[in-house]
């Protein structure tokens, strides 16, 4: 080594540290790389992503190559620093100790910590190009890695540690997918993110959460005079109406309003029997049916409107295909007069919000960012009655989940108007 100029030795030392840094950085980048993103790139024909996935499918051989190369490079670096120190300052215990401390510092800072931080920060940027270097190295070093892995696999079997695909399940649970969407940041548009999250919510809610309550159902009573039926049809905002006789629990069918209007335009002298001929069979569902399940039922049965009944067969409300779609993509721009679910509400400048008692708790939580319990009553009126255990008088106030609720108006044994106060 005395015949080799000092500058060449120092240049070789820098090269060894850089090579060690490359393997450290590449190892961390490959382990931190997002496999879902790599699979997406591979499906689009990205050759670097295909090569990177090929390496990750052989992670035992990959780690063997990287660690063997890194170990050899670090050993050569230590030996070279020791030689340089001895040739420059003589064979002295103090010199060797200082040289060992210097090489340890250089390796820790420049060949381990810094490269690994960079690899963890930019995994795909580093792993993709580095794959073209590592794949040939794996082929060249196959005999060495086979020999090393022979002992490694024997040790793992002795310790009963599973490796490969049997070691872990790569499938994602719904909650893990939800977390991925929430952490998508700017990669997923906000509207798309909202739709995806709403799709997961469909699994956890029932039709009772999105239905139009019984008191708000617009239905046609065939027991009323024909003139009143005509007037109701002429002012109707819906395409289909439930039809009953005398009492809402006696629904006999669903009337398509357009067909009824066409009948009225053709014949002025009609009776209730003419309307009966236009009715289609009602579609009843239990109140605890899941929303996602009901969406499938709508598709299978080719229905768009269902009547929700309880365990006693009494009507609780109705749900339409539009109601479920709104849960996924948000409310439509069109709304029906008198439909409180479609009315926009929000906090005003004073941190107050006036609501109808029939407003659903899920809508309140979504719009006002509150946390009212939704595992019991579905409306604000129902929640307040459950808490108070009595029909309250007006101007009663209480606090629910850090939100002050003031009852403004009570009518017909129900809370009609409520004011919420936002807590700072």
Structural domains for the chain: 6-166 (no CATH), 207-329 (3.10.580.10), 344-421 (3.30.465.10)
Task: Say if residue 117's pLDDT is above 90.
Answer: yes
Average per-residue pLDDT in the chain?
Answer: 84
What percentage of the chain has pLDDT greater than the value 90? 16
Residues 55-75, mean pLDDT to the nearest whole number? 86
Q: Which of 11-25, 160-174, 362-376 has the lowest mean pLDDT?
A: 160-174
Q: How many angstroms separate the CA atoms of 242 and 305, rounded?
A: 9
Distance CA 217, CA 323 (A): 14
Q: pLDDT category, 332, cuts 50, 70, 90?
A: low
Is the per-residue pLDDT at 203 higher than 50? yes
The per-residue pLDDT for 342 is 44
Neighbours of 197 (CB within 10 A): 14
The CA-based diameter of the chain, rounded to the nearest angstrom, is 121
Answering whether pTM is above 0.75, one says no
275-313: per-residue pLDDT in tens?
Answer: 888 899 999 999 889 998 999 999 998 999 999 998 888
* Between 341 and 222, residue with greater pLDDT: 222
Q: What per-residue confidence (pLDDT) applies to 309? A: 92
Question: pLDDT tens digits for 154-193?
Answer: 887 888 776 655 445 556 677 777 777 777 666 677 777 7
Could you tell me what percent of the chain has a pLDDT over 70? 91
């Amino acid at each position: 080594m005395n015949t080799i100029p000092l500058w060449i030795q120092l240049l070789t030392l820098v090269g060894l540290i850089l090579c060690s840094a490359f393997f450290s950085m590449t190892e961390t980048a490959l382990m931190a790389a997002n496999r879902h993103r790599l699979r997406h790139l591979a499906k689009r024909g990205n050759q670097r992503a295909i090569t990177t996935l090929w390496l990750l499918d052989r992670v035992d051989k990959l780690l063997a190559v990287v660690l063997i190369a890194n170990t050899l490079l670090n050993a050569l670096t230590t030996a070279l620093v020791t030689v340089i120190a001895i040739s420059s300052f003589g064979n002295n215990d103090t010199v060797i100790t200082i040289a060992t401390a210097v090489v340890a510092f250089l390796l820790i800072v420049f060949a381990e910590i810094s490269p690994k931080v960079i690899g963890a920060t930019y995994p795909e940027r580093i792993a993709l190009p580095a794959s073209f270097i590592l794949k040939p190295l794996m082929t060249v070093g196959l005999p060495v890695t086979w020999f090393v892995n022979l002992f490694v696999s024997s040790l793992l079997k002795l310790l009963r540690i599973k490796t490969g695909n049997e070691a872990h399940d790569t499938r994602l649970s719904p909650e893990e997918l939800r977390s991925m969407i929430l952490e998508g940041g700017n990669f997923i548009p906000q509207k798309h993110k909202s739709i995806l999250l709403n799709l997961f919510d469909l699994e956890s809610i029932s039709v009772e959460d999105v239905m139009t309550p019984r008191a708000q159902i617009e239905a046609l009573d065939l027991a009323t005079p024909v003139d009143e039926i005509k007037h109701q049809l002429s002012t109707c905002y819906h395409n289909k109406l439930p039809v009953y006789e005398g009492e809402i629990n006696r629904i006999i069918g669903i009337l398509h309003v357009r067909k009824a209007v066409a009948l009225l335009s053709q014949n002025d002298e009609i009776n209730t029997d003419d309307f009966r001929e236009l009715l289609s069979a009602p579609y009843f569902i239990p109140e605890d049916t899941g929303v996602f399940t009901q969406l499938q039922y709508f598709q299978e049965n080719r229905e768009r409107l269902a009547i929700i009944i309880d365990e006693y067969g009494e009507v609780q409300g109705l749900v339409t295909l539009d109601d479920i779609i709104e849960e996924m993509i948000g409310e439509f721009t069109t709304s029906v007069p008198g439909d409180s679910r479609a009315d926009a509400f929000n906090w005003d400048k004073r941190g107050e919000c006036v609501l109808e008692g029939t407003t659903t708790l899920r809508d309140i939580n979504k719009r006002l960012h509150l946390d009212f319990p939704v595992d019991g009553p579905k409306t604000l009126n129902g929640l307040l009655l459950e808490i108070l255990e009595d029909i309250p008088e007006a101007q009663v106030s209480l606090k629910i989940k850090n939100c002050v609720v003031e009852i403004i108006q009570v009518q017909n044994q129900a809370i009609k108007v409520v004011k919420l106060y936002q807590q700072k």
